[in-house]
């Protein structure tokens, strides 16, 4: 399962696009499910090693994910490049796979130094100095993402605005057909507040602690762009402030490392539009509801594959329920 049986094809593909390329070395599987894989490897080029990442869908079929909202891997690569060209910290895409390469759908990008494991970033002393600066950096990165010109991407990106988001998760919740009164309560609270689509920008779609590559120097890159779309920019701000992504440090609203006002300061300083705190709060409530329903999805996944991990995540929907109680009934952010 972890052997790269496509190695000869990958060698052949890279030989055509990287000048001086010799061969792929030390390839290891990092993560992924049945429909999507991430591999780390070194490309030997002119006697030097270049650390790279391959993201691919081996079968060539569409990706199957919990939410079903993923864009194609090729689209993901195009959006990363568009964001990078607008100054967003993201890995450089080196090559988008073609059918003739016989490696599947996907792309190759730079492998940057840094850590993504949230608990390490919140705990390890090497991050002590940078931690208080991360919220502001998140704000600056988000402002740049939200200013990317979406016109050239319009053909490949779905528009999923606030009302559409809420309806999709309502539909998903209805399909699961198991009563969660707190989720009904949250839907009722959110529906009037999310009834109209507001600003429409590029949205990262999964901008949270855990998907940010962080070094002792700061945020090196925003990763995991598979849920990117055009929608309400506050979705990204609400998601990184959702308590599930604070990893136990609830009083640090932004990812467990920072304050919302620092994020907003960084956002506005980088040219982002003014953020209304009440609107941001609405999207934090939405973030908790969304993760709660995603936990219900995990239970559906467990019924298919018997995974103990998915089963356990199913029992985390009650975490989001207490967050929703805290947020809606007690006004706690």
CA dist list (Å): 319 to 18, 20, 70, 251, 295: 48, 52, 25, 16, 10
CA distance 242 to 5: 40
Helical H segments across the chain, by residue range: 7-17, 73-85, 118-123, 134-146, 162-176, 181-193, 234-240, 260-269, 277-305, 308-314, 317-324
Shorter beta-carbon distance to another protein: residue 48 or 332: 332
Q: Kindly give, in sequence order, each residue whose CB lies less than 8 Å from that of residue 163, ignoring residues fewer than 6 positions away.
A: 194, 195, 196, 197
Q: Torsion angle, CA of 64/67/69/72, rounded to 10 degrees?
A: -30
Whole-number Å distance between alpha carbons of 261 and 132: 12
**Cβ nearer to another protein, comparing 217 with 315:** 315
Angle at 306 (CA atoms; ends 301, 309), nearest 5 degrees = 75
The nearest distance, CB 168 to another protein, in angstroms, is 17
When the beta carbons of 191 and 276 are compared against another protein, the nearer one is 191
Q: How far is the CB of 324 from another protein (least distance, A)?
A: 8
Nearer to another protein, 228 or 320 (CB): 320
Token digits of residue 245: 């992504």
Q: Decide whether 95 or 189 has the Cβ nearer to another protein.
A: 189
- Tokens found for residue 219: 């945020």
Nearer to another protein, 147 or 208 (CB): 208
The dihedral through the CA atoms of 83, 67, 182, 257 has a sign that is negative
Cβ atoms of 153 and 82 closer than 8 Å: yes
- Interaction site with another protein (CB under 8 A): 179-182, 184-185, 187-189, 243, 246, 248-250, 308-309, 311-312, 315-316, 318-319, 321-323, 325-326, 329-330, 332
Give the whole-angstrom CA distance, residue 322 versus residue 288: 9
- By beta-carbon proximity to another protein, the closer residue of 127 and 185 is 185
We find the least distance from the C-beta atom of residue 259 to another protein, in angstroms, to be 16
Structural tokens at position 316: 């985390």
CB of 6 to another protein, least distance (A): 22
Give me the least distance between CB of 183 and another protein, in Å please: 8
- The least CB distance from residue 307 to another protein, in Å, is 8
Smallest gap from residue 16 Cβ to another protein (A): 35
The residue (of 64 and 250) whose beta carbon lies closer to another protein is: 250
């Amino acid at each position: 399962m972890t052997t790269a049986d496509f190695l000869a094809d990958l060698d052949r593909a890279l030989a055509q696009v990287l000048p001086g390329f010799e061969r792929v070395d030390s390839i290891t599987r990092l993560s992924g499910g049945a429909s999507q894989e991430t591999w780390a490897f070194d490309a030997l080029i002119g006697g030097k090693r270049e650390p790279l990442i391959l993201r691919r869908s081996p079968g060539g079929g569409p990706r199957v994910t919990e939410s079903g909202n993923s864009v194609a891997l090729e689209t993901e690569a195009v959006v990363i490049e568009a964001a990078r060209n607008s100054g967003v910290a993201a890995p450089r895409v080196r090559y988008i796979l073609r059918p003739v390469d016989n490696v599947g759908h996907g792309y190759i990008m730079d492998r940057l130094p840094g850590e993504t494991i949230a608990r390490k970033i919140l705990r390890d002393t090497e991050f002590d100095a940078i931690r208080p600066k991360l919220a502001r950096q998140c704000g600056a990165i988000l402002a740049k993402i939200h200013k990317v010109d979406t016109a050239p991407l319009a053909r490949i990106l779905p528009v999923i605005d606030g009302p559409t988001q809420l309806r999709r998760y309502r539909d998903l919740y209805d399909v699961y057909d198991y009563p969660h009164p707190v989720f009904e309560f949250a839907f009722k609270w959110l529906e009037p507040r999310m009834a109209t689509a507001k600003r429409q920008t590029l949205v990262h779609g999964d901008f949270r602690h855990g998907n940010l590559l962080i070094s002792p120097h700061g945020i090196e890159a925003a990763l995991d762009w598979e849920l990117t779309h055009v929608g309400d920019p506050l979705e990204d701000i609400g998601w990184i402030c959702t308590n599930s992504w604070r990893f136990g440090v609830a009083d640090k609203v932004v990812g467990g490392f920072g304050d919302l006002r620092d994020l907003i300061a960084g956002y506005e300083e980088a040219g982002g539009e003014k953020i209304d705190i009440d609107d941001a709060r609405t999207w934090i409530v939405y973030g908790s509801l969304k993760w709660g329903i995603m936990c219900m999805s995990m239970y559906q996944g467990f019924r298919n594959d018997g995974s103990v991990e998915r089963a356990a995540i199913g029992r985390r929907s009650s975490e989001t329920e207490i967050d929703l109680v805290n947020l809606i009934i007690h006004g706690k952010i």
